[in-house]
Chain A
Amino acid sequence: MLLLIPLFPLVGFLVNAFVGRRLPKTVSGWTACLAMFASLVAAAAAAWQIFSAPVEARLVEQTVYTWIASGDFEIPLTLRLDPLGTVMALVVTGIGFLIHVYSLAYMHEETEREYARYFSYMNLFAFFMLVLVLGANFLVMFVGWEGVGLCSYLLIGFWFKKQSANDAGKKAFVVNRVGDFAFIVGMMLLFREFGTLDFREVALHAATLSPEVSFGLISLTTLLFFIGATGKSAQIPLYVWLPDAMEGPTPVSALIHAATMVTAGVYMIGRNAELFSLAPDTLQIVAVVGVVTALFAGTIGLVQNDIKRVLAYSTVSQLGFMFLAMGVGAFSAGIFHLYTHAFFKALMFLGSGAVIHALHGEQDMRRMGGLRRALPITYWTFLAGALAIVGFPLLSGFFSKDEILFRTFYGGHELLWTIGALTSLLTAIYMFRLVYMTFHGEPRYEVAGAHGHDAHGHAHGAHLHDAPPSMAIPLVLLAVGSILAGYVGVPHALGGHNRIETFLEPSFHPAAHARVLTLGPGEGGEFTVAHGTETAADEAGHAAASHTAADAHAAEEAKTRLELTLMSVSVLIALAGIGIATFFFLRRPDRAAAMAASMPGLHRLLLNKYYVDEAYDAAIVRPVQRLSEDVLWKGVDVRVVDGAVNGAGSLVSGTASLLRLLQTGSVRAYAAWLFVGVLALVGYYLVW
């Protein structure tokens, strides 16, 4: 029963939304966690079905009811699980569950009402995210797409008394709506062209078309969807909301703004790989936007001092990597990175949360330092996450990021590879800058006493508490994940089988694996397997493989050599980045400051995030406001239209007596008149 997967969090939401404020915190918190756990179990059970089925039968479907039917436009609420959906559902429920547990302790200082409100939003988010992932057509996905945006809005602005949090929430919603506009137009175009919004039908239809040689309808459609993705997944030009979104509670940043929601755009492209493959122009744009965003966000991340902002820019940057993968057609590499990134980025956000928690809300790294002794669990787990993200050999990020870079280079995109490699260097530098500024060096923080209650003013770690169990356990589990998650995708060059790629591949080419497996409504878990026929595409694939064996072998060896070479380069880059960070931010922090001082213009430019927010404000926000207020409202409406009307009005009121009738207060008399008239009419009719 696929429906159970999203249903549990929905029930959890309803419970906490309606009665949560009257429940003790333990009950409301554990209700939410339990809902997530049940969802995880349901997802795992469904995943097990997928894993144990033969490759061509890895598809489970359930139609709940027909949602919208209007003429030839019919949208059933259908949920569908395939290998890609399986990976996503496990990430959402698994990491989601851990973050829920973490939140039990992190949010404990809130009142009962707020605590329940927090968990109700979190459950609602999980519900919508699962609808997004499991939805079998664009419109159902859009329900999830908008729903997670709503929850993101609510959770960014969770502390609604804080103006900056509210502004950040609204900014996120509105910027996302710009993307949604493109998404909606894309859906309309797609329906007009294909007569369906079902992913599978679109893919099967697309498989019969040949790739567009010039920019055409499919390029336009996919480009529109990609614009939608730049909103949700924070890419240029719509990335501006994500750094501000850090106003929300830190577990929210971990779940929504790192591990799950922001990857929806990447998932959406993966879901429609067949369609995007037909539009090389769009893919080119996706790859370029991705890699440029990666570099751009990386440079900003170098100089930020707010620990969460550094992580936020890092997320934007890593999402750029995922889009790069999608753009060069390495769909499984992109999803692989999405999956490993979910572990280590969630881990680092939760780690930063533990630091902030310990320091009573301090987020500025300039007022941290030396925390590794006071917070050993946080430190070691965080270190695992940092090493994973920079691509330290044999950790999860190493496998997924190298796969992307290798595919990029191998696909002939040397320039993109170069930018990607440069970004890797930046990643290593800013990540270890963060590690050193937070956990190493001299303590620069004031202990709780600074808040005024007690007299301890000394900066010693004695009063700091490391993560309590419900925070520590998720940290440790995620650290284990960050280290080991990559082993599902060990490349052939290292003697592995890249199992995740084999597993995911059918999702990207559904036409070549067309089998239908349906779960009829009301059949209660029983599902029937209907074997489709081998498609032409599959046969074509076999034919293409029939090169001479010797050629193939030689090419394979060259490929392996290239992959190993690139891998070594990546490792060197990561180590170099760590080295640079060690020199500037651990050994000689004065040199870092001196360097910043020697390039004040550049430093200020980066610190102010290239002034993009200011530019948007001046170029779009303010002109639109001025146009609306001064030109349209006070100009057209008040002066032009009403001016004419009032002229006519004063003419009338000079002669008409309606006004005076009202003012004499003889309403009752008039009403009576009215009655006479009505009765006369009705009477006339009756008598006749």
Chain B
Amino acid sequence: MTSLLSIVIFLPLAGAVLLLLIGNRDGARDGLIRQITLAVSLLTFAGTLALWAGFDPAGPAYQFVERHAWIPAFGIEYSLGIDGISLLLIVLTGFLTPVALLSSWGSVKKKVKEFSLFMLLLETAMIGVFAAVDLFLFYIFWDFMLIPMYFLIGVWGYDRRIYAAIKFLLFTMAGSVLMLIAIIGLAMVHYQATGSYSFDLERLLALSLAPSTQFWFFLAFALAFAIKVPVFPFHTWLPDAHVEAPTAGSVILAGVLLKMGTYGLVRFAFPLFPDAAVQMAPVLAVLAIVGIVYGALVAMVQPDMKKLVAYSSVSHLGFVVLGICAMNVQGLQGSVYQMLAHGVSTGGLFLLVGMLSDRRHTRLISEFGGLKNVMPQLVAAFFVTTLASIGLPGLNGFVGEWLTLLGAYRYDWRWGAAAATGVILSAVYMLWMFQRVNYGPVTNPRNETLPDLTTREWFAIGPIVAMAVLMGVLPNLFLAPMAPAVDRLVERMRPSIERRAEAMEGRALDVVAGPVR
């Protein structure tokens, strides 16, 4: 099927159109709407798996390519294609959307139709972002993502949802404006060089840009993506957005949306402007390391579970950015792996916190305690997810963390050593929260009769736990498809790194694929 990618992208949109056709006065057909939405998202997930099945790692760089002229006057094309990296992120999106829908099954009661609509629209936009290879198209999907998320937070969120939604919108808009300017500028550079506009990634990659031009473009792109990641110090929108977002919003936000920024760095900012990237990587790496430590320390003292998990995301995504800055195979593979792993485990944590919050309408750690006595199954799932987040070997978090650390270490040993402190801190904040919530006697009488996991909840958290184990035990399943894409990126960066190393004589950079001696 030549248009499978388009089908996967627009399947959720089609589902949304279908929902529009269903009258739902006073929520009479909420059940039906939920079922349709879930069915559509499951179908989409099946579609993403079909993409994986049809993807040939040894094949051409971009597969499932679709290219149609769209606005020829400006060389804008409807141009899609995926490599191993985007493939895996699309599968992650397909995997997490049904999970998120299941999580909101019981908790979202108002405007179910609109909620389902926004979720499906969001999925289309997310998959589109990962599949677009035309920068203009990418930008359309990118900005289109904001709107459903804005409403998900603003309408179905908790008490301070308006503040959080606007903060989220302001931060990301600021970034995307910069990016838009840079994208248009880049098309104009292409015009100057070749006499025609183009937003096509391959063609833009072929441009040779002067270092100073690269610098400004990189800055604009990197800033837009850094806000989205978020990289310290642009992270303060994240805790608010997470805390106020409904569970489904948090799962998608943490699971997929945060990866947009790091994906953008890998896909656009680094390969398009390699010289500038090499020059700026140390700055970005230091910010990433600060984020790792800072996020962990601040997470430690949070009284609110959701905020704690949100700050832990700042810390975990620091590893992702650091791996990218290492620009070698382990760093980049680890980085993409960490994106997937974080999506699964942090998505899972938000799911679990959401379940507790559904039951007690509070997320304050101090309100809980001794839950293991009353809901052993939920606590067991919570425990595995916590360990996954801590990065225990044998679970998903370890592989990404270890590879990014190794990659960073090989680029500059100080990066690896400094970032490794995150290993200690993650255990401190996660276990401390886990212990206060689940161990000890039941101190609050309101917790005495909480029901354990329902079947529906098992269907949401079960796949997460299974995936955490699978990704920890058989990481090559996920490392292999992305390897060629990563190798290509490393090759792309290599000349710039070598030039830089020559320019900074005396500083040994371990860029060769192999041990030093």
Tell me the A residues contacting B by CB distance below 8 Å.
Answer: 66-73, 113, 139, 142-143, 146-147, 150, 153, 157, 160-163, 166-167, 169-170, 173-174, 177-178, 180-181, 184-185, 188-189, 191-196, 624-625, 627-629, 632-633, 636-637, 641-642, 645, 648-649, 652-653, 658-659, 662-663, 667-668, 670-671, 674-675, 678, 681-682, 684-685, 688
Q: How far is the CA of A69 from the CA of B402 in the complex (A)?
A: 12
A64→B237 CA distance, assembly (Å): 46
- Residues B392 and A184 in contact, CB atoms below 8 Å apart: no
Tell me, in angstroms, the Cα distance from A636 to B510 when the chains sit together. Answer: 36
For A638, the closest partner residue in chain B by CB is: B236
Contact assessment for A188 and B409 in the assembled complex, using a CB-CB cutoff below 8 Å: yes
A72 touches B514 (CB 8 A): yes
Whether A166 lies near B69 (C-beta < 8 A) is no
Q: Is the CB of B440 within 8 A of A163?
A: yes
* Pair A147/B154 contact, Cβ less than 8 Å: no
Pairwise interchain contact A69-B170, C-beta atoms closer than 8 A: no
Question: A641 contacts which chain B residues (CB < 8 A)?
Answer: 233, 235-236
Instruction: Considering the complex, give the chain B residue whose CB is closest to the CB of A145.
Output: B393
Q: How distant is the Cα of A68 from the Cα of B151 in the complex, in angstroms?
A: 41
Asked if A627 contacts B297 (CB within 8 A), the reply is yes
Q: How far is the CB of B275 from chain A (nearest CB, A)?
A: 23
B424 touches A195 (CB 8 A): no
Question: Which B residues are CB-close (under 8 A) to A143?
Answer: 393-394
A667 partner residues in chain B, CB cutoff 8 A: 111, 114, 151, 155
Contact A671 B420, CB 8 Å, known A161-B370, A649-B170: no
Top 9 A-B residue pairs of the complex, sorted by shortest distance between their CB atoms? A195-B515, A71-B329, A628-B297, A629-B301, A188-B409, A160-B439, A143-B393, A177-B427, A166-B439
Q: Mark B493-517, 1 if CB is under 8 A from A, else 0.
A: 0000000000000000010011111
Query: In the bound complex, how far is the Cα of B173 from the Cα of A649, in angstroms?
Result: 12
Contact of B416 among A185, A636, A663 (CB under 8 A): A185
Q: Are A174 and B394 in contact (CB under 8 A)?
A: no
Known: A192-B410, A193-B515, A641-B233. 5 other contacts (CB 8 A): A160-B438, A163-B440, A189-B413, A192-B413, A645-B237
Contact of B321 with A by CB under 8 A: no
Q: Which residues of A contact B334 (CB under 8 A)?
A: 70
- 6 pairs of residues in contact across A and B, judged by CB atoms under 8 Å: A147-B393, A180-B423, A188-B417, A628-B301, A645-B171, A678-B13
Which chain A residues lie closer than 8 Å to B91 at the CB level? none
Question: Looking across the interface, which residue of chain B has its beta carbon closest to that of A73?
Answer: B330
Cα-based distance from A671 to B13 in the complex (angstroms): 13
Which residue of B169, B170, B393 is within 8 Å of A648 (Cβ)? B170
Interface flags for B112-142 (1: CB within 8 Å of A; 0: not) read 0010011001000000000000000000100
Contacts of A162 in B (CB 8 A): 440
Interface of B is mostly: helix
- Closest residue of B by beta carbon distance from A176: B427
Closest to A163 in B: B440
Q: Are B167 and A173 within 8 A (Cβ)?
A: no
Q: Is the CB of B155 within 8 A of A662?
A: yes
Return the chain B residue nearest A621 by Cβ.
Answer: B428
- When the two chains form their complex, are residues B166 and A649 in contact, meaning their CB atoms are under 8 A apart? yes
Number of inter-chain CB pairs below 8 Å: 196
Q: Tell me whether A674 and B147 are in contact (CB under 8 A).
A: yes
Is the Cβ of A68 less than 8 Å from the Cβ of B387?
no
Say yes or no: B392 contacts A146, CB within 8 Å.
Answer: yes
A632 touching B297, Cβ below 8 Å: yes
Partner of A645, one of B167, B301, B329, B439: B167
Measured CB to CB, the closest approach of chain A to B378, in angstroms, equals 15
A72 to B417, CA, bound (A): 21
Residues of A within 8 A of B480 (CB): 69
Q: Which residues of B contact A684 (CB under 8 A)?
A: 70
For residue B399, CB closer than 8 A to chain A, the reply is yes
Q: Indicate whether B467 reaches chain A with its CB closer than 8 angstroms.
A: no
In the complex, what residues of B have CB within 8 A of residue A73's CB? 329-330, 403, 406
- How far is the CB of A157 from the nearest CB of chain B, in Å? 7
Which chain A residue lies CB-closest to B406?
A188
Q: Is the beta-carbon distance between B423 and A184 smaller than 8 angstroms?
A: yes
B476 at the interface (CB under 8 A from A): yes
B151 in contact with A685 (CB, 8 Å):
no
| A648–B16 CA distance with the chains assembled, in angstroms | 35
Contact B329 A70 (CB under 8 A): yes
Contact B427 A174 (CB under 8 A): yes
Q: Give B432's nearest chain A residue, CB to CB.
A: A170
Whether A174 contacts B236 by the Cβ 8 Å rule is no
B213 at the interface (CB under 8 A from A): no
Q: A150–B29 Cα gap in the complex (Å)?
A: 47
Return chain A residues, CB-CB under 8 Å to B370: 161
Please name all residues of chain B whose beta carbon is closer than 8 Å to the beta carbon of A181 when the two chains form the complex.
Answer: 420-421, 423-424
Residue in A649, A670, A675, A678 whose CB lies within 8 Å of B167: A649
Interchain CB contact under 8 A, B162 and A662: yes
A193 in contact with B169 given A173-B431, A177-B427 (CB within 8 Å): no
Measured CA separation A192–B237 after assembly (Å): 38
CB of B476 within 8 A of CB of A174, answer: no
Task: Report if B220 contacts A (CB, 8 A).
Answer: no
B20 interface residue (CB < 8 Å to A):
yes
Contact A72 B441 (CB under 8 A): no
Contact pattern, B 288-326, Cβ under 8 Å of A = 1, otherwise 0:
000000100110111000000000000000000000000
Chain B hits for A166, CB < 8 A: 435, 439-440
A142 pairs with B421, CB closer than 8 A? no
Q: Does B405 contact A (CB under 8 A)?
A: yes
Please give me the residue from chain B that is nearest to A224 by CB atom: B417
Residue on B with the closest CB to A662?
B154
Q: Check if B328 is an interface residue, CB within 8 A of chain A.
A: yes
A184-B117 CB under 8 A given contacts A142-B393, A628-B297: no
B458 proximal to A (CB < 8 A): no
> A184 — which chain B residues lie within 8 A by C-beta?
402, 405, 420, 423
B69 pairs with A688, CB closer than 8 A: yes
Q: Complex formed: what's the CA distance from A22 to B10 in Å?
A: 47
**Chain A hits for B172, CB < 8 A:** none
> Does the CB pair A637–B298 fall under 8 Å?
yes
| Contact among B20, B392, B403, B423 with A675 in the assembled complex (CB-CB below 8 Å) | B20
> Please, which residues of chain A bring their CB within 8 A of the CB of B245?
none
Docked-complex contact A147 and B333, CB < 8 angstroms: no
Residues of chain B within 8 A (CB-CB) of A636 are: 233
Q: Which residues of B contact A645 (CB under 8 A)?
A: 167, 170-171, 236-237
The reply to whether A161 and B441 contact each other, CB–CB distance below 8 Å, is: yes
